[in-house]
Amino acid sequence: MTVKRTSLPRIVKIPAEVRAADALRSQIVEGQFPPGSRITEVQLAEEMGLSRATIRTALHELANEGLLTLVPYTGWTVIELSVEDVWELYTLRAAVERMAAQLAAKSQVEEQRAQLRAALEKLVQACEDGNSLRIAEADFGFHKAIVDAACHRRLSAQYGLIEQQIRVYIRSSDALIANPSEIIAQHRPMCDAILAGNADEAGRLAEEHNLTEGEKLGQSLAAKG
């Protein structure tokens, strides 16, 4: 007797350096490694049970993403967002996400529209729960959903070059907002404009949001420094 069954899933082997980079990236973005803190290959190799060569490969990947810097004769250091860094990121984001929002409003691909709705709902739920890490990740996820909804491969590729820095940036920016409901109020109009197909309004709101919140973060860093 032949028994019908579903096919078994393929087992994907993930290289150790990729798993190490994923784990370290999460720690940096979530603030477990404070900005400016030093990271040593020897310590990480011991803690993670991996070779220094594997750890070094992972650290170079994170450096390429802008999360680490390699200081000669000192070692690896977690990035600290300076006022200039914030200015560069929020002006760049304002331009890129304005275009993304406009294209998303014009594209109207149903699959992407559904993902955008889901991203907003996830952000709303995170804000209602009040968990700061979840809010920051959902905030980034919403903006990433707008970029994906633009259906523009080269735009997505360029955004990918800075998206890990953006995650750090968003966590710092959201920390300045006392009431999470304000975050929902900032993002819902962008979603509504995109879903309504209003490209001009969607682009304006995306640009205005990035410029306004970026200036606030920059001023906060300047006051501390």
Question: What CATH number corresponds to the domain at position 29?
Answer: 1.10.10.10
Report mean pLDDT in 10-residue bins for the chain, 225 residues: 63 86 93 90 92 94 93 88 94 97 92 94 96 96 96 95 94 94 97 97 98 95 87
* 162 and 102 in a common domain: yes
Which CATH number does the domain housing residue 107 bear?
A: 1.20.120.530
Q: Cβ distance 78 to 31 under 8 Å?
A: no
For 38, the domain range is 16-78
Query: What Å distances lie between residue 25 and 5, 19, 43, 61, CA to CA?
Result: 39, 10, 16, 10
Q: How many domains does the chain have?
A: 2
Q: What is the model's pLDDT at position 142?
A: 98
pLDDT reported for residue 206: 97
Residue 119 lies in a domain: yes
Residue 4 inside a domain? The answer is no
CA distance 182 to 205: 15
Would you tell me how many other CB atoms lie within 10 Å of the CB of residue 176? 11
Indicate the residue among 78, 103, 120 that finishes a domain.
78
Q: Is residue 7 part of a domain?
A: no
In this prediction, residue 4 carries a pLDDT of 60
Instruction: Look at residue 61 in the predicted model and tell me its pLDDT.
Output: 95
State whether 93 and 63 are in the same domain.
Answer: no
Three-class SS state of 197: coil
